[in-house]
Amino acid sequence: MEQQVIYRYSTAFKQQVIADIESGRFASAYEACGHYGLSQPTAGRWLKKYGKNHLVAKVVRVEKPDEKDQIKELKQQVKQLQQLLGRKEAEKALADAALETACEELGMDVETFKKKESGRLWTRLPKKDPLSQ
How confident is the model at residue 130, as a pLDDT?
Answer: 57
| Alpha helix ranges (H) inside 24-64 | 29-36, 40-50
Q: Which of these, 84, 5, 90, 8, lies nearest to 42 by C-alpha position?
A: 8
How confident is the model at residue 80, as a pLDDT?
Answer: 95
pTM of the model: 0.38
Q: Per-residue pLDDT tens, the chain, 133 aa: give them.
A: 688 888 888 988 988 888 888 888 888 788 888 898 888 888 878 888 877 766 556 677 787 777 777 888 899 999 999 999 999 999 999 998 998 898 888 888 888 877 777 666 555 556 665 555 5
User: Where exactly are the structural domains of the chain?
Assistant: 11-50, 65-124
